[in-house]
Each structure stands twice: as C-alpha cells, then as structure tokens.
Amino acid sequence: MASVSHLNKLTGILILNQLCFSMLMVVLFPHLISLGCSQLYLGTTASFISLIGLLWNPVIGSLSDVYGRKFVLVRLITIDALSILMVLLSNSLVVIFVARVISGFAGPTIAMLNSFAGDILTKKDQEIHYSRVPLVMASSMIVGPLVSGFLTELPNGYFLTYAVILTIHLINLGVASTLSSTITNTKPENKKTEKSLSILEVTKRELRSVVLKLTNVKWKEYSDIFSTKLCIELSCSFIYQSIGPSYNDFGVQGRALGYIFIFMSFNAIVANILLRYLKQVLYAEDNYGKKKLFHSATLFVLTACILSFSNTLEMYSFGMMVMSLARTLSDSTFTEALMARVSSEERGGITGAFESITSLCGLLTPVGAGLLIDSYGVKFILKMSIVPTIAGLIVTYIVKEKTQKEK
C-alpha cells in the first residue's frame, strides 16, 4: 500500500513540475520582451543555464546517493520556487536574469524523480511510473500553455501567471516533503565516510571522476554518431532560438501562443505514434539505427529549409511540425544506436559525454544566435541552421552506404 502511495505522489510531483514548466514557456518570453530585453539577453541567459546543466547534472546523482533523494528533490523544487518568486517580485531584467540562472540548478528534477522511483517502488510500480512520464510530459504541454495563455490576457496577467506557478511549486514542495527519507547511500560500507563529506567535496570528486572516465574513452570508434548528434543539436539550438522571435514577428501572443504550443505538443504525440508504426514496417531490420538517423537528418534539412523561407505563420508552423517528427525519430534512435555499440565498461562515460553534447550546444549557441538576431534578424540564424543539418545528412549518408556495402 505504501508503494502505491509513493507511486501516486511521484506522479503528482511530475505532473505539477511539468505544468509549471509548460506555463512558464508561454509567459516568460512575451514578459521579457515587454520589459525591453534583447535577443542577446535571452541567449546569454540560456547559455548560463546550459553551463550549469553541463557541470551540475553529472554531480547531482552522487549528491543524492550521499544525502538522500528526498533531501535533494526538496531542494530542487525549492530552487524552482525561489526563482519564480524573484521574477514575481521584480521587473528588473538583472534580477530576472539571476532568477533564471538559479533555476538552472533545478534542471535534474525529473531525473531525480526517476531515481526515487527506482529506490522506493516495486518493480511493477516502477514500470507504471516510467510509462507515465512521456504521457504526463505530453499532456502538460497541452494544459499548461492553454492555462498560461488565458491568464496572461487578464489584467496584471504576467503577475497572476507567475503567482499561480509559484503556488503550484509550493504545493509540489509539500507533496515532496511527505516522501520517504530512508534512502541515502546504497553502499553501506561507505555510508559513514560519504555522509561526512561536504556537498562541495562530493561535487569536486564527481567532476574529477567524470573527467577521468572521458579520458579513457575510445572516441574514434564513436566519431560518426557523436558528430551526427553534434550537427543535429547545433541546428536545433539555432531553431529553438528562433521560435520566440518568429512567433512575436507573426503577432502571436496570449492565448494564441498557448494554442501554438498545444499544436506543437499534439504534433509530438502524433509523431510518437507514427514512429511506433514505422519501426515495425520500415525499420524492422535497422538494428543499429543508421537508416533512421539518415532519415531524421533528411527531415532536419527539410525543416531548416522550410523555416528559413517561411513568410507566413502557417508555413512556419508546418516546418515545426516536420521538426517534431525529425526530433522524435532522432531522439529515440540515438540512445538505441549508442547502446548497441558501446561496451559495458565504457557505457557510463560514453552516455554522459553523449548527453553533454546537448548542454554544450545550449551553452555555445544561444549567445551567438541572440547577437545575430539583434544584428541581422531571425531569418539569418534559420538559414545558418541549414549548414549543420546538411553536414549531419552527409555523415549519416556515408555511414549508411558503408554499412550497405559491408553487407
């Protein structure tokens, strides 16, 4: 019975966390634009958040091993609530910048929930929890933008929306505080020593461990999949930076912006359903995902071209719909293809480095993209996104043809 209770609590925390995230997506950009921020400001903020993710994400798991999942989870939610409180109480761009950077430390919340599920749930309930995650994320991206879109159109709409988000975070904090606090270090013989270390000492140790693992990886063997990932993530980073300015140029605000995000979420759901069918029909023998990656790279080139030359809201939205399919196909394939090739000894270091590519692109791209948008307009960076997509297409084509010849 206790396991069922924890299952429902974890699901509730996940729902509330994603609802806050999806609501914030709709309200934050128009609010910052109304305060007179530049695209460089937005890009710099995104880069700082990515830098925190790059350094913080590999460490947070070990901190939860030492201090407990509940200890870390409660503090992650508190950080989110604090950042929203700062935005709620101030219209200063400096304060909001600091608040957004602080929120970057709360990034691993979902990963922490998944770790918590592995600790306190039965095997059956773990499967239920993990199956709920994509459903909750898709549903929240429909409900959140709709609620936020309507709230922002009310008098003092920005303030009201942030107040609702803060309230949800506080409710979430209350739910998290009722979770079991029995989980600490999973190695009893090291428990006393680990608990005596400070958070800073654990952080330094884990960063050294990450660097050591990365230096022992045979990078040449995985160069093709890493380079493909880098090309696609670079392109996506450029495109993501264009979304807010593009919809602003098209005059999309308030509930209309909420409808746009709902449309994008619906596309993601349809893409996931379609991909399940394609895996059975078109990719049944594509064990290493090379054909899927080639097709996803092709769709990314098509996406970049459509968005670069879109002059209407309908054409831009169609390009985003194509991107939804491309992103779903690539995301589901990268991990599958990597795990099929990597050895068990290298799996931790390779997987961590592979996922860090996203954070690395998020660190480097936004500042440059923001500066270029301010100087040359949003269409410029959309045209720039074509370059890495073509590079990714070339890499995946060469790998696919080489595989066919080997057969």
The rounded Cα 185 to chain-centroid distance in angstroms is 27
DSSP 407: -
Rounded distance between C-alpha atoms, residue 270 and residue 272, angstroms? 5
pLDDT of residue 135 exceeding 70, the answer is yes
Over residues 366-403, the pLDDT tens digits come to 888 888 888 888 899 999 999 999 999 998 888 877 76
Q: Where are the domains of the chain?
A: 1-208, 216-407
Question: Looking at the domain that runs over 216-407, which CATH code has it been given?
Answer: 1.20.1250.20
Q: Please check whether residue 308 is in contact with residue 385, taking contact to mean a CB–CB distance below 8 angstroms.
A: yes
pLDDT of residue 270: 80
Q: Is the pTM of this model over 0.85?
A: no
Q: Is the pLDDT of residue 227 over 80?
A: yes
Q: Distance between CA 200 and CA 178 in Å, rounded? A: 27
CB 388 within 8 A of CB 234: yes
Q: How many angstroms separate the CA atoms of 404 and 62, rounded?
A: 43
Q: At what angle do helices 386-406 and 223-249 cross, to 10 degrees?
A: 150
306, pLDDT greater than 90:
yes
**DSSP H or E stretch at residue 344:** none
* pLDDT score recorded for residue 159: 93
- Residue 164, pLDDT > 50, answer yes
Do 1-208 and 216-407 have matching folds? yes
pLDDT tens track for 21-36 = 989 988 898 899 889 9
Q: Dig out the tokens for 22 from the structure.
A: 């999806």
Q: How far is CA 300 from the centre of its chain?
A: 18
The answer, yes or no, to whether residue 6 has pLDDT greater than 60, is: yes
> With pLDDT > 70 as the criterion, what percentage of the chain qualifies?
82
Provide mean pLDDT across the span 312-317. Answer: 90
pLDDT band at 82 (very low <50, low <70, confident <90, very high): very high
Q: Write out pLDDT tens, residues 319-365.
A: 988 988 888 888 778 767 776 776 655 655 566 667 677 777 877 78
Burial 251-279 (b: 16+ CB within 10 A, else e): ebbbbebbebbbebbebbbebbeebeebb
pLDDT of residue 281: 78
Q: How does DSSP assign 37-63, residue by residue?
A: --HHHHHHHHHHHHHHHHHHHHHHHHH
Q: What is the pLDDT of residue 380?
A: 92
236-290: per-residue pLDDT in tens?
888 988 888 888 888 887 778 778 878 877 777 787 778 777 777 777 777 677 8
- Pick from 170, 199, 189: which is nearest to 72 by CA? 199
pLDDT value of residue 289: 75
pLDDT digits (tens, 9 = 90+) for 328-339: 888 778 767 776
Separation between Cα atoms, residue 48 and residue 46, nearest integer Å? 6
Q: What single DSSP character describes residue 105?
A: G
- The overall average pLDDT reported for the chain is 80
- Classified as helix, coil or strand, 385 is coil
Q: Looking at domain 1-208, what is its CATH homologous superfamily?
A: MFS general substrate transporter like domains (1.20.1250.20)
Confidence of residue 173 (pLDDT cuts 50, 70, 90): very high
Residue 246 and residue 241: Cα distance in Å, rounded?
9
pLDDT for residue 186: 46
Neighbours of 332 (CB within 10 A): 18
Task: Count, in order, helices (H) and strands (E) of the chain.
Answer: 16, 0
Distance from C-alpha of 339 to C-alpha of 335, rounded to nearest angstrom: 6
Q: What is the pLDDT of residue 146?
A: 85
